Chains A and B, each alone.
Chain A
Amino acid sequence: MPFIANTDAERQEMLAFLGLDSMQQLWQKAHVPEPEFDFSQLPAGISELEVSRHFNDLAAKNGSGLVSFLGMGHYDHFIPAAVSDVLIQAGFYTSYTPYQPEASQGTLQAIFEWQTAICRLAGMEVANASLYDGGSAIFEALTMSMRSTRRRNEIVVSEAVSPIHRKMLDTYCASLDLKIIPVPARAEKSDIAGILAAVNESTACVIVQYPNVFGSIEDWSSAVAAIKEKGALAVCSAYPTALALLKTPGEMGFDIVIGEGQPLGMPLSFGGPYLGYMCTTNKLLRKMPGRIAGQTTDSRGRTGYVLTLQAREQHIRREQAMSNICSNNNLCAVAALVYMSVLGKEGLREVASLCHDKAAYARQRLSAIPGVEALGDSPFFNEFVLQLPTDAKPLLAELLKKGYAAGVPLGKYYPGRERQLLVAVTEKRDKAEIDLLAESLEALL
């Protein structure tokens, strides 16, 4: 049996120390009944070499060689080697929650640095140590808004927020005493007038996405002011890479900024783990869920870091806690911090610029195909909507066969948009790939 140190002789010695002859006696002393199930029905254990072969076979059954234009919240960005190297260091990946701060300064300082970096990127005052993902982070922002606005229980959600995140929200809210008020998008834009019209004295918060799910960049400054005027909170789910270029949610006045941190150095890995980030204002700090690291000093005056403001959390407050969350996606937050450090102030801007430039080229190139139209006239970041002459689905299937995951068909999430394709372009795509996609698509029409 792998991963177990003690030999039979040592086990016998330990049992003897307990005054026992057999493990059987120890199970009895611990009141554990005999097994009912015969575990030998399950497959027998295999070696490291065999499991490696099996995994290589499974991995080969996946289409990893595809040229991907898939996005809608999770993106195929380049990850520098230094990021994954740091993550396999013993101190980061084999440690646990920093319950003993003196033996966990590495994790605690890294969280403090992560909080700093994400606040600077989002233009906000404070951040937590991270949440599970961008979708669950929206729910945490929702409950935080309800706590912060007292009895208010209506939540206005733009339908230009990721439909996947909105589905998660529906699940989490099913048994709660609140009402979600969805506001349909107008073409490729958020319906700002419709959103403002839905805000009333019961509204706890308004949730929007930036850039929105169709890729459009919208300036929310005056809408945020109007939302706050009515006593509601303004919540923004933001694509962190885009924030290296764009006006920050902080500059626009948002109260809570959350989002999916996967683009900051996490592989796509078929759904996770990813990284929920959350930033807010000093005013709302004590309503924020999740772990927070803070700076302090030791008895000799040396600077150190601890988990702080823990009275908000489940292990102290139990059912009155701000959330049930216990973990943070720490290793993912460390990945994001290393990513932001090795790319740096200029590097992250370059990534964002490359994304935008390549998306602009792809949009122009693809919409030059007869019968294909790029929708909307809003500025966009790295994602845009293409209208195809026929249903998107069969075309996508054909393009897959040619090696392109050409985009996300919107009809599944937005009835009526069956001919539309959401195309995402990152710095990893080159001009030749975009040209070849365009040629392949044109050949199919």
Chain B
Amino acid sequence: MKLIFDKSVNGRRGVRLPASDVPAAELPQALLRSQAAELPEVSELDAVRHFTLLGRQNMGVDTNFYPLGSCTMKYNPKINERLSALPGFSELHPMLAQLPEGIDYCQGALQVLYETEKLLAQTCGFADATLQPMAGAHGELTAVMMFAAYLKAKGETRRKIMLIPDSAHGTNPASAAMAGFTCKEIASNADGDLDLDELKKALNDEVAGIMLTTPNTLGFYESAVAEVVALVKQAGGLAYCDGANLNAILGRIRPGDLGFDAMHINTHKTLSTPHGGGGPGSGPVCVAARLEPFLPQPKVYKNKDGSYGLSEDSAQSIGYIAPYYGNFSVILRAYAYLLMCGGDGFQRISENAVLNANYVRERLAPWYEQNYERSCMHECVLSASRQGAKGVRALDIAKALLDKGFHAPTVYFPLIVPEALMIEPAETESKQTLDDFCEAMIDIAKQAEENPEALKNAPLSTPVGRLDEVGAARNPILRA
């Protein structure tokens, strides 16, 4: 499609602004830009049509099954969009709460923050929570910064090593490094669990803690998760739960009950807020009592009379991690979803997510290699290694699925599974959709046997075919 800039016509205007009702004020010529920024000159219709057509070039949950493993592409309830756009929320300047007596004008918003924090802490088994982190990875960073502050307060600054399983998301080591830790990788064993012997060998008085995804990225519930947490804590470390996969245990297991000191929640995964083509997210962090004093500020609290306030008086707080209170309108959507599901609904979510994934796993078992013989949680990780014998790679299977009207699973992650195809159906999908998807996967497996070359040409039905990524990196064209 042409770029919006290529649709530009000199002098064409879009939205009209009101005429000025005050005298024009001049700025010194020397402070002005030498030429106007070459932004598009299009009509409102030109722009709306351009972006509507662009949007149609994307697959989304509303149009296609999107089994992207580790991303929990569940349905985004429409009511969330409407509620988060209410002017009483969307027009509220965050600074208003900082004005003298301004807090009186933000009571509804503060109640949302307070109740969401409490609901998340209760649902995940922790003492308290912060909603400030602006994405999952930002939540990880916030939590490990709290670890660093806690260790510093205890005079244990020699603890600089963060243990991270080899199956972890790349954000874990990257977040630990950003908070000043050095990372040590712990291997997984043949069953897909963290290797306890490796863990024990790694524990010493320089270990700050562990970052453990629960369930893990292979889609398994670590049988010994409580033991891993206990071992790390006995050795003087802190235990962090990467909550990216919370959807699998919602309403059944509370990571706080397993002994974790902190966890983050991706609202855009478990709590149905939109993924938005890559963001914005929101990454609330729950903490155990010993980390409470280190939570970011400002912190919302409830008075005896039922009103809400904001405090900034914890001397041990790590401080500001967001400009104000986090991605509030994303939190509104998560709050609406939490209320609609309720305590009684949480387990229905995890049950259906786990059942859907196991159903897909079992249906595809005759056709695709599974490196571990065990029931999965919310996602199943297959390997295209059998198809590899015919020269067909996980990437080819992903592209062939696009031609069949399905978004591809996550491919080549986790790194420890060769030719990984990581399928996460989510609980909002029906058996019929799963059956159609499995049929498509089986067709592709047959094609890999019979006519592997054809798969190399996929996709053929998308706006463009396979793109030259090597060329894009070698000769970067990053703007018009």
Partners in one complex: yes
Contact yes or no, A295 B472, CB < 8 A: yes
The one of B32, B88, B175 in contact with A324, judged by C-beta atoms closer than 8 angstroms, is: B175
Contact yes or no, B339 A54, CB < 8 A: yes
The B339-360 residues at the A interface (CB cut-off 8 A) are 339-349, 351-352, 354-356, 358-359
- Asked if A129 is at the interface of the complex by the 8 Å CB criterion, the answer is yes
A49 to chain B, nearest CB (A): 9
The A120-150 residues at the B interface (CB cut-off 8 A) are 120-121, 123, 126-127, 129-130, 132-136, 143
Q: Which residues of A have CB within 8 Å of B109?
A: 58, 62, 270
Render B318-356 as a binary contact track against A, CB cut-off 8 A, 1 for contact: 111111111111101000100111111111110110111
The one of B24, B42, B174, B358 in contact with A318, judged by C-beta atoms closer than 8 angstroms, is: B174
B281 to chain A, nearest CB (A): 5
Contact yes or no, B340 A2, CB < 8 A: yes
Q: Which residues of B have CB within 8 Å of A305?
A: 467
CA distance A98 to B94 in the complex (A): 32
Residue with the highest number of chain B CB atoms closer than 10 Å, among A89, A246, A341 = A341
23 A-B pairs within 8 Å (CB atoms) are namely A40-B343, A56-B86, A61-B108, A95-B60, A95-B277, A104-B58, A112-B3, A129-B278, A248-B37, A271-B327, A273-B279, A295-B477, A319-B182, A324-B138, A327-B136, A328-B279, A345-B41, A347-B15, A354-B20, A357-B24, A358-B20, A361-B25, A400-B104
- Asked if B125 is at the interface of the complex by the 8 Å CB criterion, the answer is yes
Contact yes or no, A51 B339, CB < 8 A: yes
- Asked if B128 is at the interface of the complex by the 8 Å CB criterion, the answer is no
Knowing A299-B465, A314-B174, A331-B276, the reply to whether A17 touches B407 (Cβ < 8 A) is no
Contact yes or no, B339 A121, CB < 8 A: no
Knowing A59-B86, A394-B100, the reply to whether A350 touches B17 (Cβ < 8 A) is yes
Contact yes or no, A345 B375, CB < 8 A: no
Contact yes or no, B100 A393, CB < 8 A: yes
CA distance A340 to B1 in the complex (A): 19
Contact yes or no, B37 A92, CB < 8 A: no
- Asked if A106 is at the interface of the complex by the 8 Å CB criterion, the answer is yes
Binds A, one of B46-54, B198-206, B384-392: B46-54
CA distance A87 to B22 in the complex (A): 34
Residue of B whose beta carbon sits closest to that of A167: B320
The one of B37, B171, B280, B429 in contact with A243, judged by C-beta atoms closer than 8 angstroms, is: B37
Q: Which residues of A have CB within 8 Å of B237?
A: none
Contact yes or no, A341 B4, CB < 8 A: yes
The A335-360 residues at the B interface (CB cut-off 8 A) are 337-338, 340-351, 353-354, 356-360
Contact yes or no, A74 B42, CB < 8 A: no
Knowing A96-B278, A102-B466, A327-B135, the reply to whether A64 touches B87 (Cβ < 8 A) is yes
- Asked if A174 is at the interface of the complex by the 8 Å CB criterion, the answer is yes
Q: Which residues of A have CB within 8 Å of B27?
A: 217, 245-246, 356, 379
The 10 closest A-B pairs by CB, nearest first: A59-B88, A45-B342, A42-B343, A63-B105, A91-B55, A331-B276, A271-B324, A61-B108, A327-B279, A360-B25
Contact yes or no, B326 A45, CB < 8 A: no
Contact yes or no, B36 A330, CB < 8 A: no
CA distance A217 to B30 in the complex (A): 11
Known: A2-B77, A127-B479, A306-B469. 9 other contacts (CB 8 A): A14-B431, A86-B52, A95-B276, A102-B466, A109-B54, A270-B93, A294-B476, A327-B137, A360-B22
Contact yes or no, A244 B359, CB < 8 A: no
Contact yes or no, B321 A379, CB < 8 A: no
Render B461-480 as a binary contact track against A, CB cut-off 8 A, 1 for contact: 01111111101110011111
- Asked if B243 is at the interface of the complex by the 8 Å CB criterion, the answer is no
- Asked if A308 is at the interface of the complex by the 8 Å CB criterion, the answer is yes
- Asked if A402 is at the interface of the complex by the 8 Å CB criterion, the answer is no
Residue of A whose beta carbon sits closest to that of B131: A271
The one of A40, A106, A320, A340 in contact with B57, judged by C-beta atoms closer than 8 angstroms, is: A106
- Asked if B394 is at the interface of the complex by the 8 Å CB criterion, the answer is no
Q: Which residues of A have CB within 8 Å of B345?
A: 1-2, 45
The size class of the interface chain A forms with chain B is 35 or more
Knowing A90-B55, A103-B407, A345-B40, the reply to whether A319 touches B277 (Cβ < 8 A) is no
A346 to chain B, nearest CB (A): 6
Contact yes or no, A89 B79, CB < 8 A: no
- Asked if A268 is at the interface of the complex by the 8 Å CB criterion, the answer is yes
Knowing A99-B68, A324-B178, the reply to whether A314 touches B340 (Cβ < 8 A) is no
- Asked if A201 is at the interface of the complex by the 8 Å CB criterion, the answer is no
Residue with the highest number of chain A CB atoms closer than 10 Å, among B51, B96, B137, B468 = B51
- Asked if A321 is at the interface of the complex by the 8 Å CB criterion, the answer is yes
Residue with the highest number of chain A CB atoms closer than 10 Å, among B17, B18, B249 = B17
- Asked if B416 is at the interface of the complex by the 8 Å CB criterion, the answer is no
Render B170-186 as a binary contact track against A, CB cut-off 8 A, 1 for contact: 11011111111011000
The one of A102, A245, A334, A341 in contact with B39, judged by C-beta atoms closer than 8 angstroms, is: A341
Q: Which residues of A have CB within 8 Å of B355?
A: 6, 11, 14-15, 23, 26
The size class of the interface chain B forms with chain A is 35 or more
Knowing A103-B58, A345-B37, A354-B17, the reply to whether A177 touches B79 (Cβ < 8 A) is no
CA distance A119 to B39 in the complex (A): 10
Contact yes or no, B22 A317, CB < 8 A: no
CA distance A40 to B346 in the complex (A): 10
A339 to chain B, nearest CB (A): 9
CA distance A70 to B23 in the complex (A): 22
Contact yes or no, A42 B177, CB < 8 A: no
B245 to chain A, nearest CB (A): 12
Q: Which residues of A have CB within 8 Å of B163?
A: none
Q: Which residues of B have CB within 8 Å of A167?
A: 319-320
- Asked if B21 is at the interface of the complex by the 8 Å CB criterion, the answer is yes
Contact yes or no, A271 B325, CB < 8 A: yes
Knowing A30-B354, A39-B346, A308-B476, the reply to whether A271 touches B323 (Cβ < 8 A) is yes
CA distance A327 to B50 in the complex (A): 24
A267 to chain B, nearest CB (A): 4
A384 to chain B, nearest CB (A): 12
- Asked if B233 is at the interface of the complex by the 8 Å CB criterion, the answer is no
Render B287-328 as a binary contact track against A, CB cut-off 8 A, 1 for contact: 000000000100000000000000000000011111111111
Residue of A whose beta carbon sits closest to that of B51: A86
CA distance A339 to B36 in the complex (A): 17
The A203-222 residues at the B interface (CB cut-off 8 A) are 217, 219
CA distance A171 to B381 in the complex (A): 38
Q: Which residues of A have CB within 8 Å of B275?
A: 93-97
The one of A15, A120, A298, A326 in contact with B37, judged by C-beta atoms closer than 8 angstroms, is: A120
Contact yes or no, B51 A110, CB < 8 A: yes
Q: Which residues of B have CB within 8 Å of A316?
A: 170
Contact yes or no, B90 A268, CB < 8 A: yes
- Asked if B148 is at the interface of the complex by the 8 Å CB criterion, the answer is yes
- Asked if A46 is at the interface of the complex by the 8 Å CB criterion, the answer is yes
Q: Which residues of A have CB within 8 Å of B469?
A: 101, 296, 306, 308
Residue with the highest number of chain B CB atoms closer than 10 Å, among A56, A251, A327, A394 = A327
- Asked if A35 is at the interface of the complex by the 8 Å CB criterion, the answer is yes
The A263-320 residues at the B interface (CB cut-off 8 A) are 267-274, 285, 291-300, 302-306, 308-311, 313-320
Contact yes or no, B22 A361, CB < 8 A: yes
- Asked if B101 is at the interface of the complex by the 8 Å CB criterion, the answer is yes
Contact yes or no, B90 A113, CB < 8 A: no
